[in-house]
Chains A and B, each alone.
Chain A
Amino acid sequence: MTLTLDAPRIVTVDPLLELHGVNKSYGPVVALRNVHATVFPGEVLGIVGESGSGKSTLLRMMNLEETPDSGSYTLDLPDVDGNLFELDRFARRMLCATRIGIVYQNPHLGLLMKHSSSGNVAERLLVAGERRFAVLREKATDALAASEFPLERLDAPPIELSGGMQQRVQLAKAIALEPALLLLDEPTTGLDVSVQALVLDTLKRLQQDRKITMVIVSHDLGVIRTLADRVMVMRRGEVVEAGLADQIFQDPQHAYTQQLVHAKL
């Protein structure tokens, strides 16, 4: 028994990201059912839900790592048109490399563990076509500095670094090309609480200084609460509720969201 919200009237810019009617099944298992999502430029969207709710699948689709059975995906960027799910492999790879940054929960997915940390960041720039060593070095250093990575360890391979540091390298790699969209998949899960706070703080800073549009997936409501402007609650592949972050946490409407919010310590 709530009011239906109007379309945006004050914020008249087009959404940066739009997903429409996304469906995905793995055999008999429905991973996503008719998911819609909208993210405006500069906004941070949080996606919460328990394991298996489809939130990570959705994020992988935003990074074009997976294609759905049906649905469309658009990004409002210059030179980017049409349904991105229909792009060919090459166009998809270039788009991901230059416009979308991602930080995985598992650093092994996002990093070359035995290459140097600065090299990991430089690779992004190399893929985008940068061929000047001095520029690569400088930009990689800048990105690592922006993610508050200790620069004296610039050329240490990630495998020798702590979990928090590895996440910073991932983050530096993700933001090196100043992407239009930053995707974060459980960026702090598995880190010590103190390290978690530091990584969150770094993210918050980045978001404020660079106005990067972010989508962050986490089962940790604290993380979402700290970072997100808006929250989408997912359960069994469906979006059960979406709204302003403080509204979702203070006045959850759906039974599942209430259960989720009340379960938080």
Chain B
Amino acid sequence: MTPVLDIRGLTKGFTMHHLGQGFAAFDDISFAVAAGEFVLLKGANGAGKSTLLRTLYRSYLPQAGQVLFQSDHGLIDLARAADVDITHLRRTEIGFVTQFLVARPRVSAEALVAEPLRVAGVPAEEALVEARHWLRTFGVKENLWPAYPTTFSGGEQQKVNLARALIRPQKLLLLDEPTASLDANARAALVQRLADLKAQGTAMIGVFHHPGDVEHLIDRVVDLSPNAPATEDRHDVVV
């Protein structure tokens, strides 16, 4: 079976022009993720876990290597894909979940959550019904749904963010510590949603501070620590 994502020799570093120096984030990384597979990224702080996720999402530009993604339109190298293609894939096939909500003034929580569906062409009413369902699932109080999340507490904002990021099933989901500072109920709802998505065939790559929450979902662990073995044997399956 062809993997959803096949990462080959991916390298990323940053050049700080004002310091006149560069530093490497990670070097020559290779691993593959199949549909319905959950890969946990491991490594100390600064090992480049989040950087890798952002590089896969193309918020960071890789310096070398390939990120072969099996899209609905055929195999495409995310490291080299044109910007418009990336934008398209982000709207349709690749999701990114962080703990931070980018709220916009005067946009209600439910509208914000419904947005990914609206962009995908779902009628407004239908999208709103779905959005409310997920807000309820993640435990956002009903009286907050039409309110503007800019003024919400951190925890509530995060729930809105999760609802927004997970409302639409994606082919590939990148998870950057989505459970941090989440209360137990919401965490349970999140894990349940991830399990459902996984069962539907979503490939996931995640960074978790406390992997215990998602332990039963993890299929493989990829260690990004600099001293870890460099290539294939990094893919030691644990748990």
Contacts and interface: CB of A to CB of B under 8 A. Distances in A.
Contacts of B83: 5, 230, 242-244
Interface stretch (B12-20, B154-162, B186-194, B222-230): B12-20
Interface residues of B, number: 37
A258 B19 CA distance: 11
Chain A interface size, as a band, is 35 or more
A5 B119 CA distance: 25
Contacts, number: 99
Contacts of B18: 255, 258-259, 262
A204 B118 contact: no
Contacts of B58: 244, 247
A201 B80 contact: no
Interface in A230-265: 230, 242-244, 246-247, 250-251, 253-255, 258-259, 262
Interface stretch (B84-92, B138-146, B213-221): B84-92
Interface string A105-131: 000000000000000000000000000
B107 to A, nearest CB: 7
Interface in B36-61: 54, 58-61
Interface stretch (B69-77, B167-175, B177-185, B203-211): B69-77
Nearest to A13: B84
B200 interface: no
B88 A251 contact: no
A7 B59 CA distance: 18
Given A10-B89, A262-B18, A247 B61 contact: yes
B129 interface: no
Nearest to B19: A258
B115 to A, nearest CB: 7
A197 B73 CA distance: 38
Given A2-B61, A251-B60, A204 B104 contact: yes
Given A4-B80, A11-B88, 4 more contacts: A8-B82, A9-B74, A230-B83, A246-B59
Interface of A: 1-11, 40, 43, 197-198, 200-201, 204, 208, 226, 229-230, 242-244, 246-247, 250-251, 253-255, 258-259, 262
28 contacts: A1-B63, A2-B62, A3-B62, A4-B80, A6-B80, A8-B85, A9-B76, A10-B88, A10-B89, A11-B82, A11-B84, A43-B84, A197-B106, A200-B104, A204-B107, A208-B119, A229-B87, A230-B83, A230-B84, A242-B83, A243-B83, A244-B59, A244-B83, A251-B54, A255-B17, A258-B16, A258-B18, A259-B18
